[in-house]
Amino acid sequence: MVLSGGACWTVGDKQGGNTMSDAKAKLREMLARRGMVAAPGSYDAISARAIAHAGFEAVYMTGAGTAASLGFPDFGLVTMTEMVANAQRIARSVDVPVIADADTGYGNELNVWRTVQEYERAGVAGIHIEDQEFPKKCGHLDNKQVIPREDYIAKIRAAADAKTSKDFLLIARTDSRAMMGLDEAVARANAALEAGADMAFVEAPQTLDEIAAVPRLVRGPCLLNMVWGGKTPLVSLPDAEAMGYKLSILPGLLLKEAIGAFDDILTRLKAEHRHPAPQADMKVAEIFRRFGADEWDERRTKFRDPAEAKPRAAAE
């Protein structure tokens, strides 16, 4: 699939996980070229593999989806440790860069500093940190509150200082549009970029004009969050790219589809009293093949033959 600016998504069948440096460098290379990167939202390794299998260049780990996978609403109830653990599982499962939600950074500048380093160690290529008060809530809900601008910028400075790789993508998210207006949101985004952020994420612009205004007014690369049923009007990926966005995330795409599919097939089971035909009519072996069964099967016998069992590092 090719976007209007020339960006393309290519399918890769091998999904053995990223090395930390490769994932960061790969994401930077994508963002440096002409066009926009689209990253559908993943909440576990199954959904991450589906995104990579479909040919998308990047995966976004959704905080709302991670919370839902643990049985919670997106109300700031999930800890940094739980979020990082999910990010690590997702990054390990795919060969495309993973961008992860890091909420508010889970505290003050000290907590933010540790948060950045923990996510980096987990193998993700980048994170976003926001300016909501703690506990936060989904950016497309009402009655959000944000911290003072100076406190937010201090946290962004701490995050930038904590990076161990220059390629690790630090995205500064501001939720201030909801209660302070677009001018304050743009001011915070620009201040965050000056403080060391690599990209700005103005959450929940509320009109098409506001969506178009953000990349014009923000002095750096911008992310657009597309949420079905949220505060922001939906635009096509080519239109978002034409407006000047460099990254688009679709956090709830697979989560909402999965909930609908679950409800549908369970309703059919109750009504029909037999196993309904699933939408993905796959044999058991086909399912496992999507998760690396062929590579694991090779290892069943490989190490019995000394010639074949030569360690990869030695072979290289």
- Rounded Cα distance, 129 and 197, in Å: 10
Instruction: Kindly list the structural domains of the chain, giving each domain's residue range(s) and its CATH number in brackets, ordered by start.
Output: 20-259 (3.20.20.60), 282-316 (no CATH)
Catalytic residue among 152, 225, 241, 245: 225
Annotated catalytic residue 53: no
Annotated catalytic residue 95: no
Annotated catalytic residue 128: yes
pLDDT tier at 80 (50, 70, 90 boundaries)?
very high
- Rounded Cα distance, 307 and 214, in Å: 59
Say which residue, 4 or 309, is predicted with more confidence: 309
Annotated catalytic residue 210: no
Q: What is the pLDDT of residue 18?
A: 63
Catalytic residue among 44, 101, 118, 131: 101
Q: What is the pLDDT of residue 280?
A: 84
Per-position DSSP letters for the chain, written without gaps between them: -B-TTS-B-----------HHHHHHHHHHHHHSSS-EEEEEESSHHHHHHHHHTT-S-EEE-HHHHHHHTT--SSS-S-HHHHHHHHHHHHHH-SS-EEEE-TT-SSSHHHHHHHHHHHHHTT-SEEEE--BPSS---TTSSS--B--HHHHHHHHHHHHHH-SSTTSEEEEEE-THHHH-HHHHHHHHHHHHHTT-SEEEE----SHHHHHHHHHHSSS-EEEE--TTSSSPP--HHHHHHHT-SEEEETTHHHHHHHHHHHHHHHHHHHHSS-PPPSS---HHHHHHTTTHHHHHHHHHHTTSTTTT--HHHH-
pLDDT tier at 315 (50, 70, 90 boundaries)?
low
Tokens matching residue 262: 């679950």
Q: What is the pLDDT of residue 237?
A: 97
pLDDT tier at 275 (50, 70, 90 boundaries)?
very high
Annotated catalytic residue 152: no
Catalytic residue among 44, 57, 103, 131: 103
Residues 6-24: tens digit of each pLDDT: 334 333 334 456 666 699 9
Annotated catalytic residue 294: no
Catalytic residue among 118, 130, 198, 210: 130
CA geometry: angle 118, 47, 129, nearest 5 deg: 35
Residues 117-136: tens digit of each pLDDT: 999 999 999 999 999 998 89
Q: What is the pLDDT of residue 128?
A: 98
Annotated catalytic residue 138: yes
Where b means 16+ CB within 10 Å and e means fewer, 27-57 reads bbebbeeebbbbbbbbbbbebbbbbbeeebb
Residues 214-264: tens digit of each pLDDT: 999 999 999 999 999 999 999 999 999 999 999 999 999 999 999 999 999
Which pTM does this prediction carry? 0.90
- Rounded Cα distance, 43 and 111, in Å: 23
Residues 81-128: tens digit of each pLDDT: 999 999 999 999 999 999 999 999 999 999 999 999 999 999 999 999
User: Mean of the pLDDT values across residues 152-173?
Assistant: 97
User: Mean of the pLDDT values across residues 39-67?
Assistant: 97
Annotated catalytic residue 103: yes
User: Mean of the pLDDT values across residues 181-190?
Assistant: 97
Task: Round the average pLDDT of the chain to a whole number and report it.
Answer: 91
Asked if 99 and 171 count as a contact pair (C-beta separation under 8 A), the reply is yes
